[in-house]
Amino acid sequence: MTSLEDLPIRDDLRGRSPYGAPQKSVPVALNVNENTHPIPEDVAHDIVARVAAAILRLNRYPDREFTELREALAGYLGHGLTPEHIWAANGSNEVLQHLLQAFGGPGRSALGFEPTYSMYGLLASGTGTRWVTAPRDDDFELGPEAAVAAVLEHDPDLVLMCAPNNPTGTPLDLDTIRAVADVARGIVIVDEAYFEFAEPGTPSALTLLEGRPRLVVSRTMSKAFAFAGARVGYLAGDPATIDALRLVRLPYHLSALTQAAALGALAHADEMLAMVDEIRGQRVRLSAELARLGFAPYRSGSNFVLFGGVDDPHAVFEALLARGILIRDLGIRGHLRVTAGTEAETTAFLEAIAVFAPERAAGAAENRIDA
C-alpha cells in the first residue's frame, strides 16, 4: 500500500498536516464559526431562480471578470470603492492564496501574529513562502509597538493581520493596522472575515486604503451572510494589486453558479445581515455567562468566544460531544472556543458547560475539605 511518504512530494511539505476541523453530525455544531441561522426563505427562492437561469447558460464559460459581482461587492462595501478595486474567489482562503501566489513564493516570507488563523501558515507553505510568526501582547491583543517591531525585525514580503483575530476573537485597532501599513515594504493583508460582527460603529480597515496601494482588505460571505457552503470571498485593494492577482488565478475561476448565487445574496444584503444583531447578542451572552461560571472569556468582536480556565480542554470537548454539542479544541492550553449560535444552541452549550465550571469545581473541593 503506497503511503504519502512514498510519493515524490516537495520536501517542504513532508511531515505537514492538512487543515481540518472535526466534521461530525451533531444537534449543536458550534466549532467552525458558521452562521447557524438559515437563509431567509424569500432570499433562498430568489437565489434559486438566479442559479436556475444560470444553468440554462452552462454551455458557455462564465464572465471571467465577474463584472456584475464586482459591481455589487463595491456597492456593498461603499467607501468610494469601484469594481476596479474589487477581487473575488472561491472563499476568502482562495483570495489569500492568490495574494501569496502573486507576492510570496520561494525566497519570500509572510509574517503573522500567533495564535492566528491556521490557514495562513498552510497557504504560505503551499506557495513556497516562508512563514514567520511573532507573539501577541497579553490577552492575545496586538498593539502598534509590538506589531511594528515584528515587521522591522523580519522585513516580510507579506503581513497577514486578522481583524478581529481568529481564533481569539480579539479586535484589532486601526492604529495598529495603520502603523504596520506605514512601515511595511510588502503587501499588508487585513483579513476582516468577521468584521460584520464587530460592535456597531467600529471602523473598517477599508478607511485606510486610500493612499496605501500595498494595503488590501479581505472579506467573506461565509459568516455574516450565512453563505459558507457557497464559497465566496473577496477583497478590496488598489487596482494595480487586482491586476497582479489576474496573473495567478485560474481561467474562469468563479463559476456562473457561484456568481449567480452571490448576486442573489447581495441583492438582499439588509435581510441577510438582519441576523447579525441576534448573533452579536448571543456572543455577549456567552461572554457574560462564561465569566459568571468562573471561566475567562476574551474580548471578542467576532461570532465566537475563546475562553480560558478549562482544566482539561480535551476531556471537556469529548464530554460535550457526547451530549451532541461540538465546539473547538484549538490546542491552546486551558482554552476552548465556541461559536455564538441561535438562542437555543447557546442555551444548550451553557447548560452543558456549567458542569465543568471552575466555580463549581472549587465548591466541590471545599466540600471535600469540609467533610
pLDDT tens-place string over residues 324-338: 999 999 999 999 999
State whether 289 and 217 are in the same domain.
no
Residue 364: pLDDT above 80? no
337: containing domain: 22-39+273-370
Q: Structurally, how many domains does the chain consist of?
A: 2
Amino acid at 254: L
CA distances from 246 to 38, 65, 93, 95, 242 (A): 34, 9, 16, 11, 7
State whether 220 and 328 are in the same domain.
no
State whether 352 and 281 are in the same domain.
yes
pTM for the model: 0.93
State whether 303 and 334 are in the same domain.
yes
pLDDT tens-place string over residues 93-137: 999 999 999 999 999 999 999 999 999 999 999 999 999 999 999
- Domain termination residue (choose one: 267, 292, 316): 267
Beta-strand pair 304-308/187-191: unpaired
For residue 210, what pLDDT is reported? 96
Asked if the structure places residue 33 within a domain, the reply is yes
State whether 73 and 145 are in the same domain.
yes
Asked if the structure places residue 13 within a domain, the reply is no
State whether 278 and 216 are in the same domain.
no
State whether 139 and 221 are in the same domain.
yes
Query: What does the pLDDT average to over 149-173?
Result: 98
State whether 236 and 290 are in the same domain.
no
Nearby residues of 348 by Cβ (< 8 Å), 6 or more positions away: 27, 28, 325
Distance CA 345, CA 363 (A): 27
Domain holding 142: CATH number? 3.40.640.10
